[in-house]
């Protein structure tokens, strides 16, 4: 019964979305307040219906209702509750429902917190958002319905892919989707601005918090995915340039560019059409990502639907939304009035350089992702585009970006002096050069690349801190610095944290690429293995049982200079229902480096394949990403970015006036 | 349409080309879809 309610709610959501996509848009065009007012309750109702559908599916998973084909194919009665619930989005149908759930969640958020928006703009934003909702709700109902019944219902389900049976599944996809789908709001604002023919600083102020929220979520989502791959796949790697990793990375790159270009629109009314185009591209790349994963056009670890019908449907949606948005852009953007002029050396110039480099980087990743397919189509040649391609192409684009990131915040708006800005970065330059020299002295001439990477990270970190120190007058008036620091706008703190986090990420990437040490040995219980100054003693290997798996579990002691530091328990799990394996990596970290242990198959002579890694600075990759996302969140709390804040203040003021009367 | 106008239409042209490529790639059954890095590593 609950399933039928969920199914019916999805149909109702489609009906509401159709109304929401048409009436407010018509009302805004005619200036009809009654029709404009439709947008808000419709967005809330659409969210409510999709939420009912989503939780009905979750309920079916929780109670293991195997009369649903989707539950049978992706769950099993022996699964722990966490994997039953997160199994909802482990498959194509459920994850599309999660996609639409988050889409309507953002719509409801705009309806609730966007009260400071002009009603016509809000109506247009919500109408465009509902158009996206209509397409994806139709997609779910016509091609990917999770509520289809099986009769007779089987006694038990087929289970969940062992690699997905991890807490990572509970968090990574929702965060990633919050980012992907969050960019739909920036997209809707862009379309609404094109329809209205007006982009001004107020528009940029409204669009920035939503972009920032999506960017934070996407940063967290990508970092979580990378961390999950690191500890699940068992190769010690954390990024593989897999098409679907790339599909999430491209919107992040363009979204980062969008965040920065929106600042220029807000402060100087320049780069308006460019910002609109970026907003369209950021969400379009999210749609392309959805297309790549769902259509089966590319094979990847994430691709789980290879039904051409679904692929054609998503391509059609991509054509309607992206093609339609770009057509509207081609028609309306030339009519948008240009904004403030600026010299090439200026804050705006720096932000434009940031935009050009980030979008070029995104284009590079895009070409690398699709090139194998293109070559196969055109020349029937098989190529694999892997890390060497990206090292050769992506890194040279990132280096000038990181150098410029340090200088940009030092430049004033309109017209700046590069030499003056650089002279304020002398200390940062000295720290950066010292980092390079210390690295070379400690590790030898073979680490030139690593020395450059760490120098770059030190340059960015030191420059970011210098800029902060200057702002608060740390050296001019140390006693008053704390007071001034507290009074700094939170957006400034956000920028500082995000840039510093990026420096930490760069250091982590450099360390892991340059100095990771790997040992693959055939070890018997009682053997000891040396790794990067540590000794790892394999004491025993046992067979253990979990709720729905059996595992080969090793007991390893990690020793340094004969002293025990930790006990590691890597596992290789076998899931009989799914007839598949997964790796349970054991990691010991001291936040400067990880010891990473994997137990493999038995060799039949009492030994086991054991893989051991020493991964220096790897934890900094995720630490840096968290600091970056934290920067975004701090920036979101800035008074100027708080959505709905002016409306709330107005209401409070009105209440105060009433009370005084 | 003036010269500036064509510049604004450029993204549409790029997108149409891409969408046509996607459609062809999607409907071509004999394409090798398993040549990508992570899949290759998984199959090792």
Q: Which residue has the tokens 């598949």?
A: A580
**pLDDT tens-digit series, residues A297-317:** 665 555 454 566 788 888 899
Please tell me if residue B19 touches chain A, with a CB cutoff of 8 Å: yes
Q: Assess whether pLDDT exceeds 50 at residue A645.
A: no
d(CA A562, CA A535): 8
Q: What is the pLDDT, as a whole number, of residue A183?
A: 95
Give the pLDDT mean for A426-446.
91
Contact criterion met (CB below 8 Å) for B32 and A381: no
Contact criterion met (CB below 8 Å) for A362 and A285: yes
Q: What is the pLDDT, as a whole number, of residue A651?
A: 55
Q: Which residue has the tokens 């893989």?
A: A611
Supply φ then ψ for residue A564, to 5 degrees.
-75, 130
DSSP labels, A264-281? HHHHHS-SHHHHHHHHHH
Min Cα distance A490 → chain B (Å) is 36
**pLDDT tens-digit series, residues A526-564:** 999 999 899 999 999 999 998 888 999 999 999 999 899
Please give the mean pLDDT across all residues of chain A: 89
Q: Which of A323, A329, A384 sits opposite B35 (nearest CB)?
A: A384
Give the pLDDT mean for A589-609.
91
Cα A445 to chain centroid, rounded: 36
Please choose, from the candidates A578, A575, A607, A610, the residue with its C-alpha nearest in 3D space to the C-alpha of residue A596: A610
Please tell me if residue A388 touches chain B, with a CB cutoff of 8 Å: no
d(CA B13, CA A487): 49
Give the pLDDT mean for A226-232.
89
Min Cα distance A326 → chain B (Å) is 5
Contact criterion met (CB below 8 Å) for A407 and A463: yes
Q: How many residues does chain B have?
A: 44
Check residues B13 and B30 and name the one with the higher pLDDT.
B13
Q: Assess whether pLDDT exceeds 80 at residue A376.
A: no
DSSP labels, B4-44? HHHHHHHHHHHHHHHHHHHHHHHH-TT-----SHHHHHHH-
Check residues A22 and B37 and name the one with the higher pLDDT.
A22
Residues of B with CB below 8 A from A322's CB? Answer: 15
Closest residue in chain B to residue A308, using alpha carbons only: B26
| ipTM rounded to 2 decimals | 0.76
- Report residue A654's pLDDT band, with 50, 70 and 90 as the boundaries: low
| Burial (CB count within 10 angstroms: exposed 0-12, middle 13-18, buried 19+), residue A661 | exposed
Please tell me if residue B43 touches chain A, with a CB cutoff of 8 Å: no
Q: What is the pLDDT, as a whole number, of residue A35?
A: 94
Interchain proximity B26–A312, CB inside 8 Å: yes
Please tell me if residue A142 touches chain B, with a CB cutoff of 8 Å: no
Residues of A with CB below 8 A from B23's CB? Answer: 312, 315
Spatial neighbors of A266 by CB under 8 A, at least 6 apart, are A201, A204, A205, A208
Interchain proximity A330–B9, CB inside 8 Å: yes
Interchain proximity A240–B40, CB inside 8 Å: no
Instruction: Tell whether the torsion through CA atoms of A55, A60, A64 and A69 is positive or negative.
Output: negative
Structural domains of chain A, ranges and CATH numbers in brackets? 1-165 (no CATH), 186-408 (no CATH), 424-512+624-661 (no CATH), 517-617 (2.60.98)
Q: What is the pLDDT, as a whole number, of residue B39?
A: 41
Residues of A with CB below 8 A from B16's CB? Answer: 323
DSSP labels, A463-476? HHHHHHHHHHTTTT
Q: What is the pLDDT, as a whole number, of residue B35?
A: 43
**pLDDT tens-digit series, residues A111-169:** 999 888 899 999 999 999 999 999 999 999 998 899 999 888 898 888 888 878 888 88
**pLDDT tens-digit series, residues A377-411:** 777 777 778 888 898 999 999 999 999 999 988 89
* Lowest model confidence (mean pLDDT) among A85-94, A178-187, B25-34: B25-34
Q: Which two tokens stand for residue A113?
A: 């917190």
Residues of A with CB below 8 A from B28's CB? Answer: 377
Give the pLDDT mean for A241-253.
90
Min Cα distance A352 → chain B (Å) is 18
Q: What is the pLDDT, as a whole number, of residue A92?
A: 87
Q: Cis ω on the peptide bond leading into residue A152 (within 30° of 0)?
A: yes
- Report residue A658's pLDDT band, with 50, 70 and 90 as the boundaries: low
**pLDDT tens-digit series, residues A354-367:** 999 999 999 999 99
Contact criterion met (CB below 8 Å) for A159 and A29: no
Please tell me if residue B13 touches chain A, with a CB cutoff of 8 Å: no
* Lowest model confidence (mean pLDDT) among A207-211, A296-300, A384-388, A440-444: A296-300
Q: Which two tokens stand for residue A67?
A: 């009369």
Q: What is the pLDDT, as a whole number, of residue A45?
A: 97
Interchain proximity A382–B35, CB inside 8 Å: yes
Q: How far from A489 is each of A215, A463, A468, CA to CA, in Å?
A: 20, 19, 12
Residues of B with CB below 8 A from A319's CB? Answer: 19
Q: How many residue pairs from chains A and B have C-beta atoms closer than 8 A?
A: 100
Please tell me if residue B16 touches chain A, with a CB cutoff of 8 Å: yes
Please tell me if residue A328 touches chain B, with a CB cutoff of 8 Å: no
Check residues A598 and A651 and name the one with the higher pLDDT.
A598
Give the pLDDT mean for A71-82.
90
């Amino acid at each position: 019964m609950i399933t039928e309610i969920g199914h019916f709610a999805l149909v109702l959501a489609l009906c509401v979305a159709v109304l929401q996509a048409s009436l407010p848009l018509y009302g805004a065009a005619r200036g009809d307040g009654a029709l404009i007012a439709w947008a808000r309750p419709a967005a809330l109702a659409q969210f409510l219906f999709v939420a009912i559908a989503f939780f009905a599916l979750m309920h079916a998973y929780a109670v293991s209702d195997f009369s649903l084909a989707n539950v049978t194919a992706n769950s099993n009665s022996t699964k722990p509750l966490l994997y039953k619930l997160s199994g909802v989005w482990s498959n194509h149908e459920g994850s599309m429902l999660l996609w639409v759930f988050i889409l309507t969640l953002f719509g409801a958020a705009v309806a609730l917190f966007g009260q400071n928006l002009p009603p016509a703009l809000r109506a247009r934003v919500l109408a465009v958002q509902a158009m996206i909702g209509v397409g994806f709700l139709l997609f779910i109902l016509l091609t990917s319905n999770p509520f289809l019944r099986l009769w007779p219902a089987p006694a038990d389900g087929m289970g969940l892919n062992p690699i997905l049976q991890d807490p990572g599944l509970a968090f990574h996809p929702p965060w990633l989707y919050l980012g992907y789908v969050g960019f739909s709001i920036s997209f809707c604002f862009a379309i609404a601005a094109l329809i209205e023919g007006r982009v001004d600083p107020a528009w940029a102020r409204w669009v920035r918090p939503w972009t920032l929220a999506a960017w934070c979520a996407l940063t967290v989502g990508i970092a979580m995915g990378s961390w999950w791959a690191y500890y699940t796949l068992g190769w010690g790697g954390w990024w593989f340039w897999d098409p679907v990793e790339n599909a999430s990375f491209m919107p992040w790159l363009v979204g980062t560019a969008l965040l920065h270009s929106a600042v220029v629109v807000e402060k100087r009314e320049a780069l308006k059409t460019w910002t609109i185009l970026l907003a369209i591209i950021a969400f379009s790349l999210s749609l392309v990502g959805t297309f790549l994963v769902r259509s089966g056009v590319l094979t990847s670890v994430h691709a789980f639907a290879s039904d051409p019908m679904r692929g054609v449907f998503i391509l059609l949606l991509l054509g309607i939304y992206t093609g339609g948005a770009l057509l509207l852009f081609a028609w309306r953007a030339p009519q948008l009035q240009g904004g403030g002029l600026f010299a090439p050396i200026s804050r705006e110039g720096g932000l434009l350089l940031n935009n050009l480099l980030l979008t070029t980087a995104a284009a590079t990743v895009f070409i690398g992702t699709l090139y194998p397919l293109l070559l196969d189509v055109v020349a029937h040649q098989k190529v694999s585009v892997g890390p060497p391609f990206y090292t050769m192409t992506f890194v040279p684009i990132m280096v000038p970006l990181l150098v410029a990131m340090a200088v940009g915040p030092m430049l004033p708006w309109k017209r700046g002096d590069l030499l003056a800005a650089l002279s304020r970065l002398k200390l940062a330059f000295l720290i950066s050069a010292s980092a390079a020299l210390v690295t070379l002295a400690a590790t030898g001439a073979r680490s030139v690349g690593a020395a450059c990477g760490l120098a770059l990270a030190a340059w960015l970190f030191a420059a970011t801190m210098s800029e902060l120190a200057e702002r608060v007058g740390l050296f001019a008036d140390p006693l008053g610095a704390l007071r001034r620091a507290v009074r700094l706008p939170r957006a400034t703190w956000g920028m500082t944290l995000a840039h510093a986090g990026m420096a930490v990420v760069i250091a982590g990437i450099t360390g892991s690429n340059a100095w990771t040490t790997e040992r693959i040995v055939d070890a018997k219980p009682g053997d000891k293995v040396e790794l990067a100054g540590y000794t790892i003693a394999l004491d025993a290997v046992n067979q253990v049982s979990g709720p729905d798996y059996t595992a080969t579990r090793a007991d390893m002691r990690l020793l340094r200079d004969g002293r025990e530091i930790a006990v590691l328990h890597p596992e290789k799990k076998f899931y009989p229902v799914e007839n598949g394996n997964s790796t349970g990596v054991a990691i010991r970290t001291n936040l400067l480096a990880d010891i990473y242990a994997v137990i493999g198959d038995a060799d039949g002579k009492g030994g086991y394949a054991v893989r051991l890694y020493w991964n220096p600075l790897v934890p900094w990759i995720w630490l840096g990403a968290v600091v970056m996302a934290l920067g975004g969140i701090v920036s979101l709390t800035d008074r100027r970015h708080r959505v709905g804040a002016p409306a709330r203040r107005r209401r409070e003021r009105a209440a105060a006036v009433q009370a005084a009367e | 349409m003036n010269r500036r106008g064509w510049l604004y239409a450029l993204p549409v042209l790029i997108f149409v080309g891409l969408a046509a490529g996607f459609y062809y790639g999607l409907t071509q059954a004999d394409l090798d879809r398993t040549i990508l890095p992570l899949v290759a590593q998984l199959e090792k």
